[in-house]
């Protein structure tokens, strides 16, 4: 039995098991990996904030969306490849799977190198456009350029993880993330707290850890894309155009959505440092609140892609209903966490002058509780968008992102007259609501019209 046949036997529950069981068993390892990722992200922020101070933490906050945008764009770009792979896998077309994997890898490598060079050159211009304050400029530039130097490694990690997820393997990405998380935490403490390498040390720890996780995921994925007939593992120019079109659309969706966040961050960067620090503290917690939503998204994308490729239309529709129920239940748990432990979570990142810490905590806690009210919308938009993408429709996700952008801009520029500086705290939740409405309508529409797999 080949490596892929072994994996298919182990992951056949995506095609046969009850949807709730299939989705949970696939999503739970991803959630564990996401939790590890958030733990090391929180450790990064906590070490920087407590060892280097409020200015360094504010610099991280100024870079947050810029770093997130690159990471999310790479994830979306490679997820487009993963969806194509899962459909080929569900259809049982081994040769197409291998050709798609080889073509995807080349596209990922070239794209990663181009993006790395472009972002390194443009980093100062980007920070200037973001109105980063002089007190934190040097911190921000060092951190951003170090992180951007690791873009090719992050691209490879996302690609290999996507290959593994496409065949139903969510455990290998978990192991890769566990290794990366432990290594990053250790390096963070050593480089920043003991060797005094400052904010560069924090960024370097992240990049090195990402490289190790990419190596491990690549070794695991290698078994899946090494066919008996080596001729099947080749670049296929005929696949390039449709794959790039789909992946670029998914990336544009992330970029459009992020523009609103960048505008919001640019406005926040003009506020007093304690306000920026409080906003940053809650933004760091945002990843902790979102990782389960992302995991459900990856799960429904793979589940939908495989079952659609296999022609199991009833299972696709059933997965939509059951999966949304799971997502809503999980969002309720996170809302409960916010309203019971929010203050303690925000204070993890803050230290320094008592007055500054109190002001920062007040901002961070208010921001966190506003997000807690809209948590169900965050989980809905991730789940519904991923369901539609799993069917091969990337256009709707882009339209939803445009609506999210409009909501963020409206919050910042229209609500400011009423709410003052706090208008920025409502931008995320309003964007989630707008995106959830559009993606839910689209998901129901496409689910009802299902007939045959995407060509």
Q: If DSSP states are collapsed to H, E and C, what string results for 311-344?
A: CCHHHHHHHHHHHHHHHHHHHHHHHHHHHHHHHH
The widest CA-to-CA distance across the chain, in whole angstroms, is 68
Beta strands in 70-209 (DSSP E): none
pLDDT of residue 231: 56
pLDDT of residue 1: 43
Cα separations in angstroms, 443 against 321, 386, 450? 10, 9, 11
Is residue 372 within 8 Å of 335, Cβ to Cβ? yes
Cα–Cα dist 325/20, whole Å: 9
Q: What is the mean pLDDT of the chain?
A: 86
Is residue 143 within 8 Å of 59, Cβ to Cβ? yes
Per-residue pLDDT band at 155 (split at 50, 70, 90): very high
Mean pLDDT computed over 247-271: 83
Per-residue pLDDT band at 230 (split at 50, 70, 90): low
Residue 206's CB is within 10 A of a number of other CB atoms, namely 24
Mean pLDDT computed over 220-234: 68
Name the percent of the chain lying above pLDDT 70: 94
Per-residue pLDDT band at 442 (split at 50, 70, 90): very high
Per-residue pLDDT band at 232 (split at 50, 70, 90): low
Mean pLDDT computed over 193-211: 90
Is residue 104 within 8 Å of 78, Cβ to Cβ? yes
The answer for 373, left when phi > 0, alpha when psi is -120 to 50, beta otherwise, is alpha
Per-residue pLDDT band at 443 (split at 50, 70, 90): very high
The values of phi and psi at residue 146, to 5°, are -65, -45
Cα–Cα dist 444/150, whole Å: 39
Give, in degrees to the nearest 5, the angle at Cα 201 between 195 and 202: 125
Asked which of 171-175, 234-238, 253-257 is least confident by mean pLDDT, the reply is 234-238
Is residue 265 within 8 Å of 64, Cβ to Cβ? yes
Per-residue pLDDT band at 89 (split at 50, 70, 90): confident
For residues 318 and 356, the model is more confident at 318
pLDDT of residue 385: 93
Mean pLDDT computed over 314-337: 95
Helix and strand numbers (H, E) in the chain are: 17, 0
Cα–Cα dist 28/202, whole Å: 29
Mean pLDDT computed over 63-69: 83
pLDDT of residue 102: 86
Predicted TM-score of the model (pTM): 0.78
């Amino acid at each position: 039995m080949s490596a892929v046949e072994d994996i298919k036997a182990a992951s056949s529950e995506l095609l046969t098991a009850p949807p709730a069981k299939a989705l949970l068993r696939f999503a739970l390892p991803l959630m564990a990996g996401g939790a590890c990722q958030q733990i090391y992200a929180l450790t990064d922020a906590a070490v920087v904030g407590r060892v280097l101070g409020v200015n360094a933490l504010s610099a991280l906050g100024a870079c947050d969306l810029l770093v997130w945008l690159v990471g999310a764009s790479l994830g979306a770009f490679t997820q487009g490849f993963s969806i194509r792979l899962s459909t080929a896998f569900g259809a049982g077309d081994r040769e197409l799977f291998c050709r798609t994997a080889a073509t995807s890898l080349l596209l990922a490598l070239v794209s990663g190198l181009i993006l790395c060079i472009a972002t390194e050159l443009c980093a100062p211009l980007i920070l200037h456009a973001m109105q980063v304050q002089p007190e934190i400029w040097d911190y921000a530039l060092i951190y951003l350029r170090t992180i951007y130097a690791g873009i090719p490694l992050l691209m490879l990690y996302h690609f290999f993880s996507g290959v593994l997820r496409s065949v139903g393997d969510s455990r290998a990405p978990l192991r890769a993330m566990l290794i990366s998380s432990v290594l990053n935490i250790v390096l963070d403490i050593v480089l920043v707290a003991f060797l005094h390498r400052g904010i560069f040390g924090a960024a370097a720890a992240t990049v090195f850890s990402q490289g190790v996780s990419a190596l491990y995921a690549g070794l695991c994925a290698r078994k899946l894309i090494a066919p008996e007939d080596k001729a099947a593992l080749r670049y296929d120019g005929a696949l390039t155009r449709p794959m790039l079109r789909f992946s670029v659309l998914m990336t544009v969706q992330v970029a459009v959505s992020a523009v609103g966040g960048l505008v919001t961050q640019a406005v926040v960067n003009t506020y007093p440092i304690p306000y920026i620090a409080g906003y940053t503290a809650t933004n760091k917690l945002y990843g902790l609140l979102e990782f389960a939503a992302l995991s459900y998204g990856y799960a429904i994308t793979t589940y939908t892609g495989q079952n659609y490729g296999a022609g199991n239309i009833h299972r696709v529709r059933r997965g939509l209903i059951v999966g949304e129920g799971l997502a809503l239940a999980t969002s309720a748990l996170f809302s409960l966490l916010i309203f019971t432990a929010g203050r303690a979570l925000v204070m993890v990142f803050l230290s320094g002058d008592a007055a500054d810490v109190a002001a920062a905590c007040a901002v961070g806690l208010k921001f966190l509780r506003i997000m807690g009210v809209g948590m169900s919308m965050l989980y809905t938009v991730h789940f519904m968008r991923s369901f539609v993408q799993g069917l091969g429709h990337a256009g709707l996700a882009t339209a939803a992102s445009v609506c999210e952008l409009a909501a963020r801009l409206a919050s910042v520029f229209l609500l400011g007259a009423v709410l003052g500086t706090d208008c920025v705290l409502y931008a995320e939740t309003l964007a989630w609501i707008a995106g959830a409405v559009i993606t839910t309508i689209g998901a129901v529409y496409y689910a009802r019209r299902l007939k045959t797999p995407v060509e």
